């Protein structure tokens, strides 16, 4: 009889500990609040060497438009990435454009590039419209998530929450207060850790992602048990033990 009580107590404490120790919600310190908070202004995407830019030019001169937009007359890339239709930023920060020649784009926003290309073409052409976007913006999500992998970002801005959403969110066993972000700048890799249980992460310069960022989610101590076949049966086991304990007590 005493052994039943001990087993029941141990299992109950263990399960309570597993559930209570896992912080499976985000930004716990603002979960019960309403209203707004003052956050840092979202940084604009700045072009770096290795980025691929798609620059579309529209002018009354169809020949000029075709020079900048070869995809209008040639079949697109079957993979749908559009990377082979863009302009690669070389290691010195330049791209080579028809008519204009070399243009320095490093650390510039797509808006600034639009203005500069428009200004150059407007010297000889009229009614020029330019649209620029980066087509190889991607991030990788590894570790304790539902679907780890590399994901292409279609917009100029993406947060760490966007990336986790693409990866199917973190598993319940994941450590949310120690999420690593690895970023390469000028050939040097930097890393930081973010606490997704705290709203302070919203103010981090790593909250919004850069091209080729890597996010690593560390597995918690319950990961191995969570993947076993025992955990789903624990409620049944507890119920059986509880029932057996009750029967023994009533039989006395």
Residue 39: pLDDT band with limits 50, 70, 90: low
Pairing type for strands 138-143 and 214-217 reads parallel
Which range among 46-50, 117-121, 158-162, 242-246 shows the weakest confidence by mean pLDDT?
242-246
Kindly indicate the confidence band of residue 153, based on its pLDDT and cuts at 50, 70 and 90: very high
Q: Which domains does the chain have, with CATH numbers?
A: 2-21+225-251 (no CATH), 28-43+138-222 (3.10.560.10), 52-134 (3.30.1950.10)
Are the CB atoms for 106 and 40 separated by under 8 Å?
A: no
Question: Longest Cα pair distance anywhere in the chain, in angstroms?
Answer: 102
Among 33, 1, 6, 26, residue whose Cα is nearest residue 195: 26
Give the residues across from 174 on adjacent strands. 219
Q: How far apart are CA 194 and CA 213, in angstroms?
A: 14
**Distance between CA atoms of residues 51 and 90, nearest Å:** 8
Q: What is the pLDDT of residues 206-240, one digit of tens each?
A: 999 999 999 999 998 766 555 555 555 666 676 77
pLDDT tops 70 at residue 7: no
pTM summary value? 0.72
How far, in whole angstroms, is CA 24 from its chain's centroid?
18
Token pair belonging to 234: 């624990």
pLDDT per position as a tens digit, 207-216: 999 999 999 9
Rounded Cα distance, 212 and 86, in Å: 17
The C-alpha angle with vertex 51 and arms to 215 and 210, in degrees rounded to 5, equals: 30
Mean pLDDT of 163-179: 94
């Amino acid at each position: 009889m005493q052994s039943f009580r001990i087993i029941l107590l141990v299992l109950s404490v263990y399960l309570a500990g597993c559930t209570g120790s896992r912080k499976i919600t985000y930004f716990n310190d603002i979960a019960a609040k309403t209203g707004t908070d003052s956050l840092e202004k979202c940084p604009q995407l700045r072009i770096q060497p290795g980025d691929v830019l798609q620059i579309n030019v529209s002018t009354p001169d169809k020949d000029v438009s075709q020079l900048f937009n070869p995809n209008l007359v040639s079949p697109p890339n079957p993979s749908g990435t559009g990377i082979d239709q863009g302009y690669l930023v070389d290691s010195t920060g330049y791209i080579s454009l028809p008519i204009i020649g070399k243009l320095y784009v490093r650390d510039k926003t797509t808006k600034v590039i639009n203005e500069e290309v428009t200004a150059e073409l407007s010297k000889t052409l009229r009614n020029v419209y330019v649209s620029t976007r980066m087509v190889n913006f991607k991030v990788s999500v590894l570790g304790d998530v539902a679907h780890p992998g590399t994901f292409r970002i279609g917009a100029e801005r993406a947060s760490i929450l966007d990336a986790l959403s693409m990866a199917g969110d973190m598993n319940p066993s994941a450590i949310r207060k120690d999420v690593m972000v690895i970023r390469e700048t000028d050939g040097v890799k930097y890393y930081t850790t973010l606490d997704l249980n705290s709203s302070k992460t919203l103010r981090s310069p790593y909250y919004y992602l850069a091209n080729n960022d890597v996010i690593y989610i560390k597995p918690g101590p319950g990961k191995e048990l969570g993947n076993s076949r025992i955990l789903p049966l624990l409620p049944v086991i507890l119920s059986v033990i509880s029932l057996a304990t009750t029967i023994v007590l009533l039989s006395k």
